[in-house]
């Protein structure tokens, strides 16, 4: 029985993790749940999985969830970053799944690593913000980071076909989102509802918007740099609208290993939980006879500048990736609140990258300070745009 501490239990990834646990009750149990504000969903999860500790976003929500739960759970409720870190590093956990969205996942993920917990990593922002620090801590504590993102899971599996020294490049696939082929002028008229209508994947709002701007792929590029110890020049992105090929690895002899599968997050989640085993998920199989129209295109960096910004931030180094991430989080929230337009998301990020750039990626204090400064700068830009 593998015991799981789950960060981000009420989000898209968290719900799918619990679906896998539900399907294999003899193999997995839940010892900790951390969520945000979705207390109704959290209550149902607590009653079903009976965790030893439950964390929510703040004291107000802690009081609310305590009132919603039976008396025995009231002493198990914690909150905030400290509470999330307690869940992440829980003594009985055999693995921690980090699925909190955004920068909030960094400190709990570090807490899990420092407690010696293997991490199923779905929170790409952890490596975007502090990849150098996180990977050093993982090496220090001999902790594996098992990728949960479908693209990074695909690369992880394709790398098992050869030796790392023989890798020529890794190729991340992107669906292109709902606006593939649109011009900048057309993108200026995009609505919130249109941007949330992803053609292939069922994801949370923030990640869905990031997919539409291609920022999600940019963040994945930075994550891949650290996760697989590979330079920016050896990472390529191709647009693959069908989302059948989840990513590829090219070796120096010209061989290209591709991972194919249906677009279902339970597949990479289950592999991270069961590695090196594979679970009989009994999902609808991929029908190759229906895959005759697989397409691959170069990204449109002009209409979707966020991807180029991510590559630039990676090459710049220092706190630039943390600034990129923070500004994007603020801008996406503003777009979802209908305060700014779709094309003003990358505009806000570009402005913030020019404004905030002091600090070292070897200092957690510098990274957190840059994150905070970037949020202030992005908000100032958004206010001006509004």
If asked whether residues 10 and 59 sit together in one domain, one would say yes
Q: Do the domain assignments include residue 142? A: no
State pLDDT tens for residues 137-178. Answer: 999 999 999 999 999 999 999 999 999 999 999 999 999 888
Q: Do the domain assignments include residue 349? A: yes
CATH number for 220 = 1.10.1740.10
Judge contact between 143 and 113, C-beta under 8 A.
yes
If asked whether residues 249 and 375 sit together in one domain, one would say yes
Mean pLDDT (whole number) for 93-118: 96
If asked whether residues 170 and 248 sit together in one domain, one would say yes
State pLDDT tens for residues 205-220. Answer: 998 999 999 999 999 9
Where does the pLDDT of residue 273 fall: very low under 50, low under 70, confident under 90, or very high at 90 and above?
very high
State pLDDT tens for residues 314-373. Answer: 999 999 999 999 999 999 999 999 999 999 999 999 999 999 999 999 999 999 999 999
Cα dihedral: 164, 318, 117, 155 (round 10): -30
**Other Cβ atoms closer than 10 A to 58:** 13
Higher-pLDDT residue of 102, 256? 256
pTM of the model: 0.94
| Residue reference for tokens 């085993």 | 277
Where does the pLDDT of residue 31 fall: very low under 50, low under 70, confident under 90, or very high at 90 and above?
very high
**Model confidence at 304: pLDDT above 70:** yes
State pLDDT tens for residues 66-105. Answer: 999 999 998 999 999 999 999 999 999 999 999 998 889 9
> Using CA of residue 198, residue 201, residue 204, residue 207, what is the dihedral sign?
negative
CA neighbor of 275 nearest in space, from 27, 8, 23, 11: 27
Rounded Cα–Cα distance for residues 56 and 306 (Å): 31
Question: What's the pLDDT score for residue 200?
Answer: 66
Q: How far apart are the first and last CA of the chain?
A: 53
Q: Do the domain assignments include residue 145? A: no
CATH number for 54 = 3.40.50.720
Tally of domains within the chain: 2
User: 199 is written with which tokens?
Assistant: 């053609």
If asked whether residues 171 and 290 sit together in one domain, one would say yes
Range of the domain at 194: 152-385
**Which residues are CB-neighbours of 384 under 8 A, at least 6 positions away?**
none
State pLDDT tens for residues 197-250. Answer: 877 666 779 989 999 999 999 999 999 999 999 999 999 999 999 999 999 999
If asked whether residues 76 and 221 sit together in one domain, one would say no
If asked whether residues 118 and 8 sit together in one domain, one would say yes
User: 309 is written with which tokens?
Assistant: 């910004």
Q: Do the domain assignments include residue 366? A: yes
Encode 204-229: b = buried (16+ Cβ within 10 Å), e = exposed: bbbbbbbbbbbbbbbbbbbbbbbbbe
> Coil, strand or helix: which one is 57?
coil
> Coil, strand or helix: which one is 312?
helix
If asked whether residues 186 and 88 sit together in one domain, one would say no
If asked whether residues 185 and 305 sit together in one domain, one would say yes
User: 190 is written with which tokens?
Assistant: 């995009």
Q: Do the domain assignments include residue 138? A: no
Question: What's the pLDDT score for residue 292?
Answer: 85
Q: DSSP class of residue 297? A: B
State pLDDT tens for residues 176-195. Answer: 888 999 998 999 999 999 99
**Model confidence at 136: pLDDT above 90:** yes
State pLDDT tens for residues 33-63. Answer: 999 999 999 999 999 999 999 999 999 999 9
Q: Kindly report the three-state secondary structure assignment for every residue of 62-94.
A: HHHHHHHCCHHHHHHEEEHHHHHHHHHCCCCCC
DSSP letter for each residue of 258-308: EEE--S-THHHHHHHHHTTS-----PPPP-GGG-TT---B---TTT-HHHH
């Amino acid at each position: 029985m593998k015991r799981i501490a789950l960060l981000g239990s009420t989000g898209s990834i968290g719900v799918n993790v619990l679906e896998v646990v539900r399907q294999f009750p003899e193999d997995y149990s839940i010892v900790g749940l951390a969520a945000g504000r979705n207390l109704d969903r959290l209550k149902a999860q607590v009653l079903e999985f009976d965790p030893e500790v439950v964390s929510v976003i703040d004291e107000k929500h802690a009081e609310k969830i305590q009132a919603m739960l039976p008396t025995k759970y009231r002493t198990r409720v914690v909150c905030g970053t400290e509470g999330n870190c307690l869940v992440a590093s829980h003594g009985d956990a055999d693995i921690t799944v980090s699925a909190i969205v955004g920068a909030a996942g960094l400190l709990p993920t570090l807490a899990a690593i420092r407690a010696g917990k293997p991490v199923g990593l779905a929170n790409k922002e952890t490596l975007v913000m502090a990849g150098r620090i996180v990977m050093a801590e993982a090496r220090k504590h001999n902790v594996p980071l098992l990728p949960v993102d479908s693209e990074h899971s695909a690369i992880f599996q394709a790398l098992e076909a050869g030796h790392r020294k023989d890798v020529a490049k890794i190729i991340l696939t992107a669906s292109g989102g709902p606006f593939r082929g649109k011009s900048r002028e057309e993108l200026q008229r995009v609505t919130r509802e249109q941007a949330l209508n992803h053609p292939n994947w069922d994801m949370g709002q923030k990640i869905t918007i990031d997919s539409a701007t291609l920022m999600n792929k940019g963040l994945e590029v930075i994550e891949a740099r650290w996760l697989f110890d590979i330079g920016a020049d050896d990472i390529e992105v191709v647009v693959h609208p069908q989302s059948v090929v989840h990513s590829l690895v090219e070796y120096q002899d010209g061989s290209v290993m591709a991972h194919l599968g249906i677009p279902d997050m339970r597949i990479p989640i289950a592999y991270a939980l069961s590695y090196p085993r594979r679970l009989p998920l009994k999902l609808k199989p991929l029908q190759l006879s229906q895959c005759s129209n697989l397409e691959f295109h170069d990204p449109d960096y002009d209409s979707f500048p966020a991807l180029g910004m991510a590559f630039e931030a990676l090459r710049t180094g220092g706190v630039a990736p943390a600034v990129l991430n923070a500004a994007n989080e603020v801008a996406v929230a503003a777009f979802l609140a209908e305060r700014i337009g779709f094309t003003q998301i990358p505009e806000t990020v570009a402005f913030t990258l020019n404004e905030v750039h002091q600090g070292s990626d070897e200092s957690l204090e510098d990274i957190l300070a840059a994150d905070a400064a970037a949020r202030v700068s992005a908000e100032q830009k958004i206010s001006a745009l509004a």
